Amino acid sequence: MPKSKLGLRKLKHSSPPKLQYELLEHKLNDLVGAEIKFTYTGQISCINCERKIKKTFNQGYCYPCFQTLARCDTCLVKPELCHYSKGTCREPKWGEEHCLIPHYVYLANTTGLKVGVTRGYQLFTRWGDQGAISAVVLAKVPERLVAGELEVAIKEHLNDKTNWRKLLKGEFEELDLLTEKTNLLSKIPSEFKDYLILDGEESDVYGFQYPVESYLDKAKTHNFDKTPVIEGILHGIHGQYLFIGDAGLNIRKFQGYEVEFTY
């Protein structure tokens, strides 16, 4: 059986409709239905500076990086709090390259209708990472702060979270996103009207197909800190979850963990 030592990083995937997944150099779609095994070695390294650490912050960082990197600031989770214009961005150059660029505000069907925000260049990546069944762009705005402000206005009417328990069990709703988008338009404040995407290629609804043979009976998750050896049949991959045996493993949560991967 092939065996390799890995420093875990988030799963990468192709564009829709049929997602092809990779864990570093390993192609995972081919392993669905096969026995796999992860053995945590006890070593963790920061995914930014690579220093050895005992625990991670913000899915893979050491505490100093968590405190100093702009990508770990609260405004990355709550874009309406972007403070670049106040001169207080932790890394102004990083902010210019990642925040002061076009962003999309979108609607997605993950485990129900939700609103979200992402940078213009990573639309499909964001949707696939969240486990969207389908998604459509609502608006294209000039920078992250504006995207956050629009998202806040929409959150008065919609959820912005994915129910991970329903995702693990494969409990998805059937939604017509174009109808949902049309119904929402009248509720959007007038200052955002010029940013709305109403026609053209960017207004298409995209569907996603995940390599899953079966979802889980119960919403259980694996945890390397409690169980260093995780093994079983890989039943499927959805979002950042591997369905191994009777539980899901959120790979992104354990970025920086060193494991031996056998299949």
Gap between the Cα atoms of 164 and 171, Å rounded: 10
The SS3 call for residue 255 is coil
The answer, yes or no, to whether residue 201 has pLDDT greater than 90, is: no
Beta carbons of 153 and 222 less than 8 angstroms apart: no
For residue 229, give the 3-state DSSP assignment.
strand
Percent of the chain residues past pLDDT 70, beyond the cut: 100
For residue 200, tell me if it sits in a domain.
Answer: yes
Q: Judge whether 19 lies within some domain.
A: yes
Q: Give percent above pLDDT 90 in the chain.
A: 96
Same domain assignment for residues 197 and 224? no
pLDDT tens for each residue of 132-166: 999 999 999 999 999 999 999 999 999 889 999 99
Residue 172 domain-assigned (yes or no)? yes
* 50 pLDDT higher than 70: yes
Residue 1: pLDDT over 90: no
Q: Same domain, yes or no, for 200 and 224?
A: no
Asked if residue 145 belongs to a domain, the reply is yes
Say if 128 falls within a structural domain: yes
Answer yes or no: do 147 and 176 share one domain.
yes
Tokens representing residue 215 in the block? 């979802």
Q: What is the pLDDT of residue 3?
A: 79
188 and 234 part of one domain:
no
Strands 134-141 and 52-53, how do they pair?
Answer: unpaired
CA-based angle 252:132:178, to the nearest 5? 155
Same domain, yes or no: 225 and 142: no
Domain-located, residue 87: no
Place of tokens 């076009």: 102
Q: What distance in Å separates the CA atoms of residue 61 and residue 69, rounded to the nearest whole number?
A: 10
Look up residue 75 and give its DSSP letter: G
Peptide bond into 17 cis (omega under 30): yes
In a domain, 13, yes or no: yes
pLDDT tens, position by position, 60-94: 999 999 999 999 999 999 999 999 999 999 999 99
pLDDT for 66 equals 98
Could you tell me the pLDDT band of residue 2, with boundaries at 50, 70 and 90? confident
Burial class (CB in 10 A: 0-12, 13-18, 19+), 7: middle
- Is the same domain home to 203 and 123? yes
Q: Identify the domain containing residue 219 by its residue range.
A: 3-52+212-262
User: What is the tens place of the pLDDT at every residue in 227-262?
Assistant: 999 999 999 999 999 999 999 999 999 999 999 999
The total domain count for the chain is 2
